[in-house]
Amino acid sequence: MSVDQIIPVVPTETEEALLLKVEEAARRLRIGRTQMYQLLASGAVESVYIGRLRRVPVESLHDYVSTLRAHCPAQRGAA
């Protein structure tokens, strides 16, 4: 395999990863790993398995935040 045939594993700046590791998802939400696992266990955030690897779809993080915002409309204006 030549150098120009190597496929990048890490997404480029213009390409966002579709699936995140649990730790990466926790960092995106600015929460701890334990709390992220609690959200996954409760079903508040969706995850998928690829073999034995657990991954969190980026879309499920957006959905979770949208749900939080929908249930706390009074807090949006206050800050």
Three-state SS across the chain?
A: CCHHHCCCCCCCCCCCCCEECHHHHHHHHCCCHHHHHHHHHHCCCCCEEECCEEEEEHHHHHHHHHHHHHHCHHHCCCC
In a domain, 2, yes or no: no
Domain that holds residue 58: 15-73
In a domain, 64, yes or no: yes
Mean pLDDT by groups of 10 residues along the chain of 79 residues: 61 76 98 98 98 98 96 64
Q: What is the pLDDT of residue 72?
A: 81
Q: Please state the domain count of the chain.
A: 1
- CA pseudo-torsion sign 31, 79, 42, 29: negative
Task: Name residue 17's amino acid.
Answer: A
In a domain, 5, yes or no: no
Report field, pTM of the whole predicted structure over 0.75: no
In a domain, 6, yes or no: no
Q: What is the pLDDT of residue 11?
A: 60
